[in-house]
Amino acid sequence: MSWLSADAEFNPDALHNGVIGVQAELGDHDSGLHRHRMGQLLFTREGCVKLTLDEGRVLSLLPPGKVAWLPGGVSHRAEMKSSVAYRSIWFDMKRYPTLPATVLVLNVTPLLNELLERMSASSWETDWGQGAPMHMAALCVAELNAAKEVPMTLRFPQDKRLRHLTGDTLPPPLNELATVTGASERTIGRIFLRETGLSYQPWRQQWRLMKAVEMLASHARVTVVAGELGFSSDSAFIYFYRSMTGQTPGMLTSRQT
């Protein structure tokens, strides 16, 4: 039995197996802040999953058709909107020590997609130490290690002058942020580079991209997304989105139908 209802409580650590898979139709769902010993893969065919990590310091966004990897012990909260065909697979990292040690959002190849479907549908009593299940799990781990990372993770600055920046409100242009905080543009740039790994403008553009993906995955119209993210026109937003992803916004929405 690998199918879960939306309101079911579930602890993969309690099942004491090397691999545990589940499938569900969750709709809108909030897991709350939690952690587990096993590492977790999760993905959804439609809708979007927002992952809050490291006590709110890091935000990861999981678009449809991508997979997120969370190593064991990572505190996280998963918020889902209009999620359809949710899948999750947990791995005992002691049995699979080559799995990544960091949080990642990865591209899904056709082979990896098929492996995820079959493994998430497998019985919780499956013996993953021999036969076809053993080979399937090993191939899945190899495919994950070879998968291309998708830039859908953003770290937030912890400097007290910048803690008001969140995943919900559009960050202002740099000159406006300098006025609000009382810090110079150069000082803000140094803080962002030190605490997030990005200078402010690339950080803001990454924020806009992730918010755009979240809204588009929830079926928001391009006009609405462009307006809320501060673009002067639909065409300006489409140009931005294409330059960041190599695709048009319509390619994301069409993938869900």
> Rounded to whole angstroms, what are the CA distances from 140 to 71, 143, 151, 194?
15, 5, 21, 35
Mean pLDDT of 190-206: 95
The average confidence (pLDDT) of the chain is: 89
pTM of the predicted model, to two decimals?
0.81
**Structural domains of the chain, ranges and CATH numbers in brackets:** 12-146 (2.60.120.280), 156-255 (1.10.10.60)
- Which of 191-195, 201-205, 213-217 is predicted least confidently? 213-217
Closest CA to 198 of 74, 78, 67, 58: 58
Q: Using alpha carbons only, give the angle 60, 66, 68 rounded to the nearest 5 degrees.
A: 45
Q: Which residue has the higher pLDDT, 97 or 63?
A: 97
Looking at residue 63, what is its pLDDT? 85
What are the angstrom distances between the C-alpha of 176 and each of 50, 186, 248? 28, 13, 30
User: Contact 171/165 with Cβ under 8 angstroms?
Assistant: yes
- Which bin fits 85, alpha (ψ -120 to 50), beta or left (φ > 0)? left
Confidence of residue 253 (pLDDT cuts 50, 70, 90): low
Q: What's the residue count for the chain?
A: 257
Q: How many CB atoms neighbour CB 93 within 10 A?
A: 18
Nearest-angstrom CA–CA distance, 178 and 131: 61
Which DSSP category does 34 fall into?
B
Q: How far apart are CA 145 and CA 217, in angstroms?
A: 26
DSSP 21: E
- Using CA atoms, how far residue 230 sits from 13, 121, 142, 189, 213, in Å, is 44, 43, 41, 21, 15
**Spatial separation of the C-alpha atoms in residues 149 and 250, rounded to whole Å:** 22
DSSP letters, 235-255, are: HHHHHHHHHHHSS-HHHHHHH
Asked if 91 contacts 99 with a C-beta cutoff of 8 angstroms, the reply is yes
Split at pLDDT 50, 70, 90, the class of 203 is: very high
- Region 142-166: mean pLDDT is 91
